[in-house]
Amino acid sequence: MIKDLWYKNAVIYNLSVGTFMDANGDGIGDFQGLQRRLDYLQGLGVTCLWLGPFQPSPMRDHGYDVADYYNVDPRYGTLGDFVEFSHACKQRGIRLIIDLVVNHTSDQHPWFQAARKDAESPYRDWYVWSDKKPDDADQGVVFPGVQKTTWSWDKEARAYYFHRFYEFQPDLNTANPEVQAELLKVMGFWIELGVSGFRMDAVPFVIATKGPDVKKPKEQFDMLRTFREFVQWRCGDAVLLAEANVLPTVDQEYFGDDGDRMQMVFNFQVNQTLFYALATADTRPLAKALDVTRVPRPSTNQWGLFLRNHDELDLGRLTEAQRKRVFDTFGPDKDMQLYDRGIRRRLAPMLRGDRRWLELAYSLLFTLPGTPVLRYGDEIGMGDDLSLPERECARTPMQWSDEPQGGFTKADDPVHPVISGGAYGYERINAAHQRREPSSLLNWTERIIRMRKECPEIGWGDFQVLPTGSNAVLAIRYDWRNNSVLVVHNLDDRPHEVALAVDGQGESPRLVNLLAEDHNDPEEDGRHRLVLEPYGYRWYRLGGLDYLLRRTEGPVGGAKRS
């Protein structure tokens, strides 16, 4: 079962095809270019790729305005190129999940075009219409400051249509059984082409009731079970990873009490409190978030963990005071902030390029409960281009070398400007340089990924936050199959000494350092005393390195993880 539930101990790498590697020299990344970089990703230790939207699109929202669910945008190649790419992933043992953007379509999609032209069209009910503009049309906008309404007038249809996002992205009427059936066809199509699952975009909006009379949307959670059953009928180990930025009290609804809905959900609560902890060296809200999101759930479910992704760093779940502290530390200029709730920068410039701080953040990513998701370019510490609008600033091309355009393309005019000059320009920050430097961030990341995959306790085990006597130090012990792993992090810029009562499972109380040679034995009182340097971190195994011989092979299927 461990092999079947591959996502429990996976390392997921998120990228956009158009900004990763251009093979044909037109300035836009493509599937042929991405396929040529698979050996790089395999060497990094990636076990699963998550691709952003690549279907045909007017590209008014980075491809999230899909105009055809059954094809590849010509910018990126052909369906044949995609199949060759998915086959190459399979050859290397790399899984593939893709974005499933089904809350809305582009207004250029043939479905919407047919719906707006004829009130009697069968596609009319595939979208959400109103004869008059609802009174609450200015409520519930997703992009404050950019988006003014969720209902817009369509001259051709002579009616208002609902769009939770931009006006060029009309919402699908997902409660319509015909729409649901079509969405299953979309999933089945890509599964047949080698996809191992989907990252479902904006899931709370997908399952919410929609209409001019809906004042308080109600989530239709049974829809998630329908999606889950279908993908597993088609491919037994396929997964659904939900983007659901919801309160912890609702998390369990997305997993399902019996684990029969989403296998994975992104943990936004932990993500936001993690950045508060990094900004303040106060781990208490983070420890609380870990506690409230450890809802008892079947062992088949898993959290998805991330630091930065393709969107802004959303801080909407923090208190106003907490959000201000994070803004002041990581995005003090108004130009660095977005939608009155988030920060649009990449991780490295947010952490001021401080290698110690970056290592600490990545160490936390790989050791908090769940499956780590890494954004392309973060393994080399790429920066951002704040001259680009909204979230585009963190979506610049991958920096492969110090050759023109960072080795991304032979074209003089790439899809986005490659970052050049300064601390984060491709001349200084690129994969080729870092591959040749043993102590580089890239090689450090490769080593930490290798060690994370050798610690399935983090992905599979139960965890306990241990008291450290310091608000700046977070200690977590994982227990699984007669083995224990301890991870300790000092989030402060000054050293701290802590004493830990570790307990756990092991033949001896010795803590074996997995990343260095400074192992630790308990003192007479049985407690382990550790001195952590500024931004210091430790990964320990309890007992000796014979842990593989002591690992039990007990049943894992029905147990609840609490």
Q: How far is CA 2 from the centre of its chain?
A: 22
Residue indicated by tokens 């092991």: 506
Active site residues: 201, 243
Tokens standing for 212? 């001019």
Parallel, antiparallel, or unpaired for β 48-51 and 537-542?
unpaired
| CA-to-CA separations, 285 to 128, 280, 313, in angstroms, rounded | 40, 11, 17
> Are the beta carbons of 151 and 162 closer than 8 angstroms?
yes
| CA-to-CA separations, 229 to 4, 218, 235, 252, 389, in angstroms, rounded | 16, 22, 10, 18, 39
**H or E element in which residue 39 lies:** helix 38-44
- The DSSP output letter for 135 is T
- The DSSP output letter for 131 is S
Strand order in the sheet with 313-314: 313-314, 342-343, 337-338
Strands (E), 223-301: 239-242, 264-266, 297-298
Which backbone phi and psi does 185 adopt, to 5 degrees?
-60, -40
Contacts of 471-476 with C-beta under 8 Å, sequence gap 24+, read 471/281, 471/282, 471/283, 471/284, 472/281, 472/282, 472/283, 472/496, 473/283, 473/498, 473/532, 474/277, 474/283, 474/286, 474/287, 474/364, 475/500, 476/290, 476/367, 476/368, 476/369
Residue indicated by tokens 């079962």: 1
Would you call 515 exposed, middle or buried from its count of C-beta atoms within 10 A (0-12, 13-18, 19+)? middle
Q: List the one residue out of 262, 263, 266 whose CA is nearest residue 243.
A: 266
